Amino acid sequence: MRFSQGFLDEIRDRVPISAVIGRRVAWDRKKTNAARGDYWGCCPFHGEKTPSFHCEDRKGRYHCFGCGVTGDHFRFLTDLEGISFPEAVEQIAGLAGVPMPQPDAEAARRDEQRTTLMDVMELATAFFQDQLQSANGARARAYLRDRGLTGRTIETFRLGYAPESRNALKEHLAGKGIQKEQIEACGLVVHGPDIPVSYDRFRDRIMFPILSSRERVIAFGGRAMSPDAMAKYLNSNDTELFHKGDVLYNFARARKAMQGANGASTVIAVEGYMDVIALHQAGIENAVAPLGTALTENQLGLLWKMTPEPVLCFDGDGAGLRAAYRAADLALPLIGPGKSVSFALLPDGKDPDDLVKHDGRAPFDRVMAQAKPLAEMIWTRESQSGSFATPEKRAELEARLRQITNVIADETVRRHYQQAMREKLTAFFQPQQRDGGNWRSGGGGGRNGGNFQRGGGGQRGSQANSRVGGISDSLARSGMVRGHQDVPTLREAVLALTIVNHPQILIDEYDHIADLEFENRDIQKLRSAVLSEAAMAGSMKFSRETLIASLEAQGFSTLLKLLDQQVRNARLWTATEQAASEDAREAFLQVLALHQRTRVLRQQIGELEREIADAIERDDDRNIDALMQALREVQTEAARLENQEAIIDGFGVLSGRVKGPAVGS
């Protein structure tokens, strides 16, 4: 049975090659980098003890550096199991959850037609390239030279020129024996029942060939040389080969740039052909572009096939910002754990070509380094959209954010987005001080500063305000609520260091640690690095020494020394490497419970303070009393937990179960 190329590509894209090979090969934990889709193991085709068999999910290929075997999903099954190609296709289709196609003579005919049409497109590409180098292409060559493109770049992207003629391409192809119907099917001419004689679609334009994921020319984009042209840029119409919303310009080349040991870490989506080409010439080869329209859902899917978090780069003007917000709305329902987008906004009036033309890639790299996550883009758009000087306006903002985040399909991601927005709202409208009888928001609030004020102020209101302000100031100085400090709280230091010194806890309590959030940013980064190591280890044990060596190689040496000194100064031996594993684990779970309870109390304090502020604005004295009582109770428990920090009784030195000699502070 003959399978269409589209069907084979679909099932290959749906099933990572590591999933196929991983059923027959045990991956080597030390060499494998699952996060990058990079796997190593002992070759199943020849006996070996040192892993030299390599497969990459992004390429969909495997290769053994020992015996030289290479291939894709299907080749692996046919060679290793001795099954036929159709049987291998059936196995992969089963893994992909895609039904096998029924024999279809029409589909076979269309597949053959597509191959023929690609041959026609190749002839057209060569014609345009030749025309660019001819006398007809002098103006086009001058334009490209003025844009700073080198001859090598022009050749790499196979740029060409469509002469100012209604039939130059049509006659050239006809002279090569190409039938009229094939020329029309490729979209190279304008034709129809109301057009007596077809004519070339592209005339007096610089031509940009558009390639498929298999690096075959499937369409063209043309930039007009004449300033009077109806359209500055013109794309091929949709054909059997080409559907504009399903293709990204430079997709195949950018995907290659991300492969290999020194590959780019992400893919960058810019706005146009020339942006992509200028970046490539500056050494940034991982850029793609939609084809003259807003980013589509299918194009976003292509980006996610290359990287879990592509960067969408837009001009910094009003139009660029509107395009960024449209892309944010497009992406939001589709994001998932580890799958999102970020946004890089260029300086106003600049495009990527402008940035790299004179100073190379450095200015553009700085823009990329400041890319904002999706959640930040959503928050910025909504919080800067107006004044929030009244409770109604603030309630409207809260309701709008809830409505926006509700579109996220993944339940876990939706929950975390809603939590993040609640925290931002709390900080945005956090009462901080009382000036006379007026409450002022600590977070500003839109174009008018967002200050929400209550005039006058009776004795009860003044007292309540004073009490709330006092509680906030006290708690702000406590270890429970101070965040992002240079020196971590003792409790966070104990949790982080226990995990590092006793990595089996990481395997046993992986889910709890994966949900654990630290206020200190450096410890939060450390946690992410440690989780990556645990994911690589799976259910296998790995040593403290191996983990620390990896962390130090990633730049965490100074932080680890700081944490170690903290816990030793406090004589909390259960977090050190000398503690017995059972002591370390039990102490860790107790401290973890304190830490999680503290975070809950912190959220409750913020919510109660916000409710008290609202009640004061409404002169709701009865509700103020009840809220103040609730706040005092939460404060009492918070203070108790704060004093408890990380003191664990019955372990370490006190229990006599320290593994080694006592350690000094």
Q: What is the pLDDT of residues 571-622, one digit of tens each?
A: 788 889 888 888 888 888 888 877 777 777 777 787 777 778 777 777 767 6
312 pLDDT band (50/70/90 cuts)? very high
Give the least confident one: 52-56, 65-69, 189-193: 65-69
- What is the distance between the alpha carbons of residues 405 and 477, in angstroms, rounded to a whole number? 33
* More confident position, 641 or 400: 400
Mean pLDDT of 149-167: 96
DSSP string spanning 183-220? HHHTT-EEEETTEEEEEES--SEEEEEEE-TTS-EEEE
Given a cut of 50, whether residue 259 has pLDDT beyond it is: yes
- Cα dist. 123→116, 118, 120, 151, 221 in Å? 11, 9, 5, 21, 16
The topology (CATH level 3) of 105-242 is DNA primase DNAg catalytic core, N-terminal domain (3.90.980)
pLDDT at 485: 41
pLDDT at 100: 86
pLDDT at 656: 39
104 pLDDT band (50/70/90 cuts)? low
Quick: pLDDT tens for 476-508: 334 434 433 456 788 888 899 998 999 888 777
Quick: pLDDT tens for 391-420: 899 899 999 999 999 999 999 999 999 999
pLDDT at 368: 93
Quick: pLDDT tens for 553-570: 888 888 998 898 888 887
Mean pLDDT of 122-139: 96
pLDDT at 103: 64
Given a cut of 80, whether residue 514 has pLDDT beyond it is: no
If DSSP states are collapsed to H, E and C, what string results for 23-83? Answer: CCCCECCCCCEHHHCEEEECCCCCCCCCCCEEEECCCCEEEECCCCCEECHHHHHHHHHCC
pLDDT at 447: 36
Mean pLDDT of 350-360: 84
- What is the distance between the alpha carbons of residues 292 and 221, in angstroms, rounded to a whole number? 9
- What is the distance between the alpha carbons of residues 60 and 42, in angstroms, rounded to a whole number? 18
Quick: pLDDT tens for 208-225: 999 998 889 999 999 999
Which residues lie closer than 8 Å to 627 by C-beta, 6 or more apart? 608, 611, 612, 615
pLDDT at 570: 79
CA angle 111, 16, 240 (to 5 degrees): 20
Classify domain 5-96 by CATH number: 3.90.580.10
pLDDT at 662: 34
Mean pLDDT of 310-338: 90
CA angle 122, 128, 134 (to 5 degrees): 140
Classify domain 264-429 by CATH number: 3.40.1360.10
Alpha helices in 48-178 (DSSP H): 73-81, 85-96, 105-133, 138-146, 151-156, 168-175
CB 609 within 8 A of CB 472: yes
Given a cut of 50, whether residue 660 has pLDDT beyond it is: no
Residue 504 has phi, psi (to 5 degrees) of -65, -30
Which residues lie closer than 8 Å to 175 by C-beta, 6 or more apart? none
pLDDT at 645: 45
Residue 368 has phi, psi (to 5 degrees) of -65, -35
Which residues lie closer than 8 Å to 470 by C-beta, 6 or more apart? none
The single residue listed with the structure tokens 């509107």 is: 322
Quick: pLDDT tens for 526-544: 888 887 777 665 545 568 8
By CB neighbour count within 10 A (0-12 exposed, 13-18 middle, 19+ buried), where does 344 fall? buried
Given a cut of 70, whether residue 438 has pLDDT beyond it is: no
pLDDT at 487: 67
* More confident position, 603 or 144: 144
Quick: pLDDT tens for 456-473: 333 333 444 433 333 344
Average model confidence (pLDDT) for the chain? 81
Give the least confident one: 101-105, 170-174, 321-325, 439-443: 439-443
Nearest to 559 by CA among 491, 493, 506, 645: 493
Which residues lie closer than 8 Å to 633 by C-beta, 6 or more apart? none
309 pLDDT band (50/70/90 cuts)? very high
Q: Distance of alpha carbon 25 from its chain centroid, rounded?
A: 30
Give the least confident one: 42-51, 162-171, 480-489: 480-489
Nearest to 153 by CA among 279, 340, 317: 279
pTM above 0.85, yes or no: no
Which is it for strands 53-56 and 438-441: parallel, antiparallel or unpaired? Answer: unpaired
- What is the distance between the alpha carbons of residues 262 and 284, in angstroms, rounded to a whole number? 13
* More confident position, 61 or 46: 61
For the chain, the structural domain boundaries read 5-96, 105-242, 264-429, 490-654
What percentage of the chain has pLDDT greater than the value 70?
82
* More confident position, 148 or 1: 148
CB 408 within 8 A of CB 328: no
* More confident position, 388 or 287: 287
CB 223 within 8 A of CB 205: yes
Given a cut of 50, whether residue 444 has pLDDT beyond it is: no
Given a cut of 50, whether residue 651 has pLDDT beyond it is: no
